Structure 1
Amino acid sequence: MSLTVAPESGVTLPFTSREFRNAMGQFATGVVVVTANTEGEVHAMTANSFMSGSLEPPLVLVSIAKSAKMHERITKAQSFGISILAQDQEWCSNHFAGKTHPVLVPNFVQLEHIPVVEGANVQVATVLRHAYECGDHTLFVGEVTALVQDQGPAPPLVFHAGKYAAIAGAN
């Protein structure tokens, strides 16, 4: 792999997967919990590779590693939930990233039979419409069938450069 330093210089430098990941980490993102219900069991994982895709029809996208258990679960369920986390839900993000809290345990509620995190700033239920292979990941495109937005949403949970961050001026 190579990285163009400046278009006019034509200078390229080799870079590793870790360097690429660190570079992409300079893009601040929100944090979501992706959920799926397979055979009556709720599965969840933390992600920051989420975005809206379209207003008409309302579509959202999430990128999931092919090696992740969630990849198979979304494929099997043909639906997924998205919970956009608030700044005070860092513990919840950590929980679904494998760093469980000794006392706090996230609760789920059902939104059109799709589990979402209770108390999230936004809860979204989707039906899977497309799945596009993208290297070692798959872009799952879900059509939004229902959403709930907190009437007084808290500042969002933000991730930047490998750690949580706060938005300046957010309460």
Structure 2
Amino acid sequence: MDDRQFRNAMGKFATGVNVIATEVGGEVYGMTANAFMSVSLDPKLIVISIGDKAKMLERIRQSGRFSVNVLSCEQQDESMRFAGQKQFEDKFEFDRLGETPVVKDALCQLSCEVYNEHVEGDHVLFVGKVEKLALEDGDPLIFNCGKYRRLEAPEEVLSK
């Protein structure tokens, strides 16, 4: 199989959209990602996957911390900004959760310390120990088959 076919196959799995953020030398950096999952309740651990050519990789290594920000369906612009899909003239203003920069109004903000790191293929998996979290109500932004999507309840659920 070729790389494009593999990417298309992986794109069939619908995911939430996240912005990973970190701070190095007083400068905050963000990157859109969808490779994120929970790992453990005790201790509270999550994992993110960062490509080995991504600038964010060394930034997380330098800072030793990062945030995961689960975007709402109203935050497609934020996703596009940090994916480099759309240019904005204004500088993005991050909020803070503890010592970590976070995206304002994200459905979930997780402030993490790097707990472990694993090199796997052309990506690095960062295991983060969740130190603080904040939750908001709303529906998540979804990505599937190369497109942004929203959750929609099936008709049979709506009619009940």
Q: Which residue does 1:162 correspond to in 2?
A: 146
| Higher relative contact order (Cα pairs below 8 Å, separated by 6+ residues) | 2
The equivalent position to 2:26 in structure 1, one of 32, 36, 40, is: 40
Report what 1:80 is aligned to.
66
Displacement of 1:107 in angstroms is 2.6
- With normalisation by structure 2, the TM-score equals 0.92
CA drift at 1:84: 0.5
1:78-122 deviation digits (Å, cap 9, x = unpaired): 111111000010010000001235477643111111100011111
Q: Distance in 2 between matches of 1:102 and 1:114?
A: 23
8 Å Cα contact 2:81/2:88 also seen in 1: no
2:105 equivalent to 1:119: yes
Classify the secondary structure of the residue corresponding to 1:88: coil
Whether the aligned pair in 2 keeps the contact of 1:91 and 1:104 (CA below 8 Å) is no
Q: TM-score scaled by structure 1?
A: 0.86
- Counterpart for residue 11 of structure 1: none
Q: Give, as a single letter, the amino acid of the residue that structure 2 aligns with 1:95.
A: R
- Any conservation in 2 of the 1:37–1:77 contact (CA below 8 Å)? yes
Whether contact under 8 Å (2:108, 2:133) holds in the other structure is yes
Give the SS at the match of 1:70.
helix
Gaps of 5+ in 2: 155-160
Q: 1:106 to 1:154 in 2, by over 3 A?
A: farther
1:65 aligned residue: 51
Number of equivalences:
154
* One-letter amino acid of the counterpart of residue 140, structure 2: P
**Residue 151 of structure 2: SS of its match in structure 1?**
coil
Q: Is there any run of 5+ residues in structure 1 with no aligned partner, and where?
A: 1-14
Partner of 2:29, secondary structure, is strand
- How large is the RMSD of aligned CA atoms in angstroms? 1.5
Contact 1:80-1:125 at 8 Å conserved across structures? yes
Cα distance in 2 for residues equivalent to 1:17 and 1:67 = 17
Shift of 1:165: 1.3
Identity of aligned residues (%): 42
What SS is found at the alignment partner of 1:118? coil
Contact 1:60 1:144 in 2 (8 A): yes
Give yes or no for contact 1:33–1:85 (8 Å, CA) kept in 2.
Answer: yes
